[in-house]
Structure 1
Amino acid sequence: MKSNLIRFSVIVFFSMLLVNCDKDESENQTLQSFNVEETELNAKVDNTTEVISDIFLQTYEHEESIVKSPIHPFLPECAMVTIEITDTSKEVIVDFGTEGCEVRSGYILKGKVNMSYTRNVDAMTLVINYTLEDFFVNDIQFSGSRTVTRQKANDNGNPQYIMNMDLVVTFADGTEASRTGTKTREWIEGSFNGNWGDNVFLITGEWATNFKNGNMHSTTIKTPLRREAGCRFLVSGVVDLVRTNYSGSLNYGDGLCDNLAMFTSSDGEEYEIEL
């Protein structure tokens, strides 16, 4: 009888141990899946904010070009541009409408970009303010503002844009996040030649993304991100990520134009991320 009781106790112990192991493994897999999902969402925001930066820079540089054509060469025909000029200031509104316009990179944009600045073509440094109104990139909504400091030439002799971000991002499923920080875009190739398609930028900076559920993401660019106007995705560069539940790095590749990046966790585990 005592032997049967001991045998039964051992069986119960190992059964409970097995159940707990299965439960822990299931919880770890769920957390892992959630972490990868949030990393993917964050990467999508990083990539689509560059689309906004493209539109902003294209519009500003065309408006302030010495030789300017009456038709904007970089915006789709469905985008309406409204300009208000005074002796000292200029306001530019780009309206992509409520149905949306497809830009050259293949993204569908909706809503308005409102831009204003002091007119001074000779200034080496110029501050430009812009806000987003009912603005979408595909199905991701962006609202908020940016202050951009444009430098005609940085220490490398290249045009440069320092962007202070204060944005709210809303995904199609209702997930909401706020983003604040600073990003610098250095124009390293194709500047002022009238052909946006051969332009290349290097991006540095750091920012914080706070999700509405309380999760906080801190991002620091470790290796400058490379943005080529001929590709709709970031093609290279590495960012360090610190999250509420995990940390790691995201590598955008070695220059190939594709929609993939590789996330490496602090434990050394690798996951492919779709942009």
Structure 2
Amino acid sequence: MKNLKMYFFALVLVSFISCTKEDDKSTENVDSEMVGANMTADFTSELDFNSGIDIASNNSSYSSKTTNEASVVPACATVTVNNTTPGVFPKIFTVDFGTGCTQNGITRSGILTITLSGYVMTNGSTMTIERSNYYVNLRKIEGTVVYTNETTNVAIPQWTRTLTNGKITLPNGAVFTHSGTRTVKQTAGVSTLLLGDNIYEVISGTHTVNRPNGSTLTSTIVEPLIKKYACNYISQGKLNLQGTVLDGVLDYGNNNCDNLATYYHNPNGQTYNVNL
């Protein structure tokens, strides 16, 4: 009888430990900072890509397309280039936002270095974006982003976006490292002479964010992320988020131009509003 009681106790204990492990993701608090860091990684990459597209257009390095609309690079930023001869590459642009430069509610400081190996819209050309003491809305953004043009159909330009050595430091001192690859295509505005009607879709790829304490998060495209040139933010699309604590879907909404998203946590069905 004694052995039977001990066996029963051991069985209950094992069952309890097993259930506890399975319930970890549903009982722990959702790591909203990790979700926000993941959003920041995509947001800043596309924001800086817009800056590169803008600069290329204004310096005869895009194609024959020109723009008469407000630049996404603020007038308070200083833009310089290593050579101004049309058709001569590489072109290295330095965008200096100084100690603080604000446009459309986004404040940037520091320096972006954007290197074009050829015309942005030409297959095989690359746009390399490097950050130096660069901040976006008080978040320090580090890392190198390379957009490689892989267009096979001129009506649907496409790039592979590769981010390496990414690092985000929040105002409270929290640090995240990140890296990943996405595929981006242009789905509107290709045939017009304006940039303002351009729409880009991030259609596939994964991205991983890490905390120094070892927790991780991997995001995968579920529905294409919609990024309008005329909007600072990703306005639509869904990501599947899987990590140490997180297990759910990040939904960017119904194509409104705002900085809001909703996270749906699968284990317990709770929803959380997230903003940049």
TM-score range, shorter chain: 0.7 to 0.9
- Corresponding residue of 2:77: 79
Alignment match, 1:164: 162
| 1:54-133 alignment, distance < 5 Å | 54-63=50-59, 64=61, 65-66=63-64, 73-85=71-83, 88-98=89-99, 100-103=100-103, 105-119=104-118, 123-133=122-132
Residue 198, structure 1, aligned to residue 197, structure 2: yes
AA of the residue aligned to 2:137: N
- Is 1:217 the counterpart of 2:213 in the alignment? no
- 1:64-112 Cα deviation digits (max 9, x unpaired): 144769x9944222111111138552211111112x2123x42111111
Larger Rg: 1
Which has the higher mean CA deviation after the structures are superposed, 219-228 or 79-88?
Answer: 79-88
| Alpha carbons 1:74, 1:196 under 8 Å: kept | no
1:271 aligned partner, one-letter code? Y
Distance 1:175 1:72 in 2: 34
Question: Structure 1 residues 192 and 77, CA, compared in 2 at 3 Å: closer, same or farther?
Answer: farther
Q: Does the CA-based 8 Å contact 2:25-2:246 persist in structure 1?
A: no
Whether the 8 Å contact between 1:235 and 1:258 is mirrored in structure 2 is: yes
Moved more, 264-273 or 233-242: 264-273
CA contact (8 A) 1:115 1:128 kept: yes
SS in 2 for 1:55: helix
Q: Residue 169 of structure 1: SS of its match in structure 2?
A: strand
Change (3 A) 1:118 1:252: closer
| Matched residue, 1:23 | none
Q: CA deviation at 1:122?
A: 8.9
Q: Percent identity?
A: 26
Give the equivalent residue in structure 2 for 1:238.
238
Partner of 1:197, secondary structure, is coil
1:272 aligns with 2:268: no
Once residues 53 and 173 of structure 2 are traced to their aligned partners in structure 1, the CA distance between those partners, rounded to angstroms, is 29
Q: Quote the Cα distance in structure 2 between the aligned partners of 1:101 and 1:55.
A: 14
| Secondary structure of 1:191's aligned partner | coil
What is the alpha-carbon distance in structure 2 between the residues aligned to residue 117 and residue 226 of structure 1? 24
C-alpha separation in 2, matches of 1:206 and 1:122: 24
- Greater RCO, 1 or 2 (C-alpha within 8 Å, sep 6+): 2
Q: What is the match of residue 48 of structure 2?
A: 52
Give TM-score scaled by structure 2 length: 0.77
What are the residue-to-residue correspondences of 1:132-151 with 2, within 5 Å?
Answer: 132-151=131-150
Q: Structure 2 vs 1, CA of residues 202 and 79 (structure 1 numbering), >3 Å: closer, same or farther?
A: same
Higher helix share: 1
AA matched with 1:79: A
**For residues 122 and 207 of structure 1, do their structure 2 counterparts lie closer, same or farther at Cα, with a shift above 3 Å needed?**
closer
Q: Provide the C-alpha distance between the structure 2 equivalents of 1:122 and 1:274, rounded to a whole number of angstroms.
A: 32
Structure 1 stretches lacking a partner, 5+ long: 1-26
Tell me by how many angstroms 1:119 deviates. 4.0
Matched residues in 1 for 2:266 and 2:120: separation? 48
Q: Which moved more, 1:156-165 or 1:202-211?
A: 156-165
Question: Secondary structure at the residue paired with 1:188?
Answer: strand
- Root mean square deviation, CA, Å: 2.9
User: Match of 1:77, SS?
Assistant: coil
2:196 is paired with a residue whose SS is helix
Q: How many residues align?
A: 245
CA distance in 2, matches of 1:121, 1:230: 18
Give yes or no for contact 1:111–1:134 (8 Å, CA) kept in 2.
Answer: yes
CA contact (8 A) 1:202 1:227 kept: yes
Question: Secondary structure in 2 aligned to 1:226?
Answer: strand
Q: Report the residue type matching 1:273 in the other structure.
A: V
* Cα distance, 1:60–1:150 mapped onto 2, change above 3 Å: farther
CA distance in 2, matches of 1:59, 1:249: 34
Structure 2 segments unaligned to the other structure (5+ residues): 1-23
Cα distance change on mapping 1:115 and 1:219 into 2, 3 Å: same
**For the Cα contact (< 8 Å) 1:140–1:172, is it kept in 2?**
yes
